[in-house]
Structure 1
Amino acid sequence: MNLEKTLVILKPSAVQRGLVGEITSRFERKGLQLAGMKMMQLNDELLNEHYAHLADKPFFSRVKKSMMASPVIVCCYEGVDAVQVVRSMTGATNGRKAEPGTIRGDYSVSGQENIVHTSDSPEHAIVELNRFFKPEEIFDYTPNALPYLYANDEY
């Protein structure tokens, strides 16, 4: 099986608002397979690495503070084109601009407190999953529903 894996972080804004179950169920109903999930408290060192591309931005410290406000839920989902599927479901970064029906469009009115982080490419997904998960925390198994999710030549 050659399914793509991607990272989803349910941010403090999702955890604090009690949206974890609702958001994870949306990914499951879509047909994405949960391959790993854990709650963790992010720290400065991890966030400096994860958001290194924002280090020069004036809002960098605000983003880090927001991400450390409470524990987060980190998830690994997999499926055919999982990165693109998750990003489509998530919507625009700014919740005020995200289309209704997307996760951010339905649950966010903020550019920062925007419920989820998702990997933006298959290459970044690999790096990010390695950053947040140990190899033994991601599980490979064949879901019983696989033949009902994809045609046999799609995976």
Structure 2
Amino acid sequence: MSTRCFTMLKPGVLNRRLVGEVVSRLEKKGLKLIGLKLMNISQDLASQHYAEHKGKAFYDPLLDYITSGSVVAMVWQGDDCVTLVRKITGATNPAEAAPGTIRGDFCCHTSHNIIHASDSDESAEREIALFFKPEELVDWEDQAGIWY
């Protein structure tokens, strides 16, 4: 069953010129990119996005980081999409992220994590609605099979 997952490449990805590498890893898995935006996040949008973390010690520094520069917001689609994206992304704590995952290969500090990925189908739905209008998502016909 095809589902969707929201991902966000955080300011460090742009600064380190890793956008193409991260997008490529998700595409090579066979996921379909249906939404993409380069944007600056307002404090209000950041606080809505990370609302479940309000009151935690890392909340304010997280908001400061995510609003410190541009991000790349994306929506991916595929079978069991959230699970697949989370496996490719790796553990939140870089010390626990396996080599070969995005965080395992490119992240050193949890406080400056380079990617956010929805942790459930319900979170994906909520997060997609925060960052994308329905008309900004393009569910294009995947004809990859004709090339193989």
What residue is the counterpart of 2:128 in the other structure?
129
Equivalence for 2:90: 91
Shift of 1:48: 1.0
- Structure 1 runs of 4+ off > 3 angstroms? 146-149
1:2-151 alignment runs, 5 A limit: 2-145=1-144
CA distance in 1, matches of 2:146, 2:76: 18
Q: CA deviation at 1:96?
A: 2.1
Distance 1:147 1:54 in 2: 45
Output the CA distance in 2 between the equivalents of 1:147 and 1:103.
29
Write the letter of the residue equivalent to 2:122: E
In structure 1, how many angstroms separate the alpha carbons of the residues matched to 2:88 and 2:73? 17
Shift in Å, 1:142: 1.6
TM-score by length of 2: 0.95
- The amino acid that maps onto 2:31 is L
- Partner of 2:96, secondary structure, is coil
Query: 1:53 deviation in Å?
Result: 1.1
- Given that 1:6 and 1:125 are in contact with CA atoms closer than 8 Å, whether structure 2 keeps it comes out as yes
Aligned to 1:152: none
Q: Is 1:90–1:102's contact at 8 Å kept on the other side of the alignment?
A: yes
What amino acid sits opposite 1:73 in the alignment? V
| Distance in structure 1 (CA, Å) of the matches to 2:7 and 2:58 | 22
3-state DSSP of counterpart to 2:68: coil
Whole-angstrom CA distance in 2 between matches of 1:5 and 1:46: 20
SS in 1 for 2:86: helix
Partners of 1:116 and 1:63 lie apart in 2 by 12
- Unpaired runs of at least 5, structure 1: 150-155
Q: Partner of 1:140: helix, strand, or coil?
A: coil
Aligned equivalents of 1:99, 1:43: Cα separation in 2:
32
The amino acid that maps onto 1:50 is H
- Greater shift, 94-103 or 80-89, is seen at 94-103
RMSD, aligned CA: 1.5
Instruction: Tell me by how many angstroms 1:61 deviates.
Output: 1.0
Q: Secondary structure at the match of 2:83?
A: helix
Asked if the contact 1:41/1:71 (under 8 Å) is kept, the reply is yes
